[in-house]
Homo-oligomer: A and B are copies of this chain.
Amino acid sequence: MQDAQKLMLSAKGHVSATAKALKILECFTPFQHELTLAQISRLLDMPKSTLLNQLRTLEELGYLMKVRDGSAYRLGYKIMELSYCAHTAIPMSQYAIPVMEDLQDATGEIIYLTSHINGRSFYMECVYPNSRSVPYSVSGKTLPMHCTGCGKAMLSQMNTQQVEAIIQQYGLASLTPNTITDHDLLMEDLAKCRARGYALDNEEETLGVKCIAMAIRTPRGEVAGALSISGSPISMVPEVLDPYAALLARACTSLTQYAHLFPAIQLQTP
C-alpha cells in the first residue's frame, strides 16, 4: 500500500480495519456495480490476502454479496436496509414533500430536493408527474455541483473560498456539450444566479433536461439545500421562468424553518 493512503487510514483513535472495510464498499458506484477481488485490490492498492478477510466479513453480514455463478461482488441488501433507517430518520422529508407536491401540481414538471455534502449535490427527494417511466428513487444520488441547477443555486450562495475549494477538489467535468467547464464562465454564471435569485440548467447535466433551481437557506443565511423544477426544453420555455421562480421562492422560504435538518447543516464537514 502507498504511504499516503496508509496514513489516511491510520489516524489516532481510529480503527483502520473498519476504515478499510468502508473504503471497500465505496469502490462500488452507479457505474461499477460489480467488482472482483483483484479489481478491488488494484483500486485500493491492497494485498489480495488482506482484502479477502474483509470481503468475507462484509459478505457474511450481508453488506456484500457474490454475483450468482461468478466471483464478483455486489453491494448487499443490508445497505438498503440501513438506508431505509437513515431515510426515515430525516424528518425533513415529511415537511418538504407536501411543498414539493404543490410545486408539482402547479407546474407539471419534476421537482427535486437536494442538499450538498462534501462539495457535491446530494439528492434527497423527488416528486414526479403522473406520467411514468421515470427512475423512481433518487434518494442518495450525488452529482457534481457545477453542472446541475440545484448545484449552481447552492454554489451561488456560498462564499468564493468555498466555491474555489470545491472546483479545485473536483474540477469541472463535462457531462454534456452544454456543461460549463471553464472556471471564469462558471463564476460569471454564478454571479448571474446571485443577481436574479435562481439558477438555470440549460441541459448541462443531461441533454433534454432544463431546470430552474433556487437555494434553501437557514435563518442565519447558510446554504442548506435547493429545490428545482426540471422538464424538457419544450415545456421549460423562457416565459415560465418568472412564475416558476416565484413559486420556488415561496417554497424555499417556507422550508427555511426546517433548514437545520438538511445534511449540509447537520454535518460539521471537516
Contact check, A139 vs B84: say whether CB atoms are below 8 A apart. yes
Given contacts A79-B82, A137-B139, A88 and B58 within 8 Å (CB-CB): no
Chain A stretch 47-68: residues in CB contact (< 8 A) with chain B: 52-54, 56-58, 60-63, 65-68
Given contacts A77-B263, A82-B83, A13 and B53 within 8 Å (CB-CB): yes
Stretch with Cβ within 8 A of B (4 or more), from A23-31, A227-235, A239-247, A248-256? A23-31
- Interface residues of A, CB < 8 Å — how many? 72
Contact check, B77 vs A85: say whether CB atoms are below 8 A apart. no
Does A43 sit at the interface, judged by CB under 8 A? no
Give the residues in chain B near A11, CB-CB below 8 Å. Answer: 60
Give the residues in chain B near A141, CB-CB below 8 Å. Answer: 81, 84
How far, in angstroms, from A130 to B17 measured CA to CA in the complex? 47
Give the residues in chain B near A133, CB-CB below 8 Å. Answer: 98, 101
Q: Which residue from chain B places its CB closest to the CB of A83 in the assembled complex?
A: B83
Does A142 sit at the interface, judged by CB under 8 A? yes
Contact check, A53 vs B136: say whether CB atoms are below 8 A apart. no
Does A37 sit at the interface, judged by CB under 8 A? no
Chain A interface residues toward B at CB < 8 A: 11, 13-15, 17-22, 25-26, 28-30, 33-34, 52-54, 56-58, 60-63, 65-68, 74-89, 93, 97-98, 101, 117-118, 122, 125, 130, 132-133, 136-142, 260, 263, 265-268, 270
Contact check, B17 vs A17: say whether CB atoms are below 8 A apart. yes
Contact check, B137 vs A18: say whether CB atoms are below 8 A apart. no
Contact check, B14 vs A53: say whether CB atoms are below 8 A apart. yes
How far, in angstroms, from A141 to B53 measured CA to CA in the complex? 29
- CB A47 to nearest CB in B, in angstroms, measures 14
Q: Which residue from chain B places its CB closest to the CB of A17 in the assembled complex?
A: B17
Contact check, A82 vs B28: say whether CB atoms are below 8 A apart. yes
How far, in angstroms, from A137 to B79 measured CA to CA in the complex? 15
How far, in angstroms, from A58 to B13 measured CA to CA in the complex? 12
Set B22, B98, B122, B266: member contacting A67, Cβ < 8 A:
B266
Contact check, B130 vs A77: say whether CB atoms are below 8 A apart. no
Contact check, A18 vs B136: say whether CB atoms are below 8 A apart. no
Contact check, B136 vs A84: say whether CB atoms are below 8 A apart. no
Q: Which residue from chain B places its CB closest to the CB of A261 in the assembled complex?
A: B68
Set B68, B83, B101: member contacting A265, Cβ < 8 A:
B68
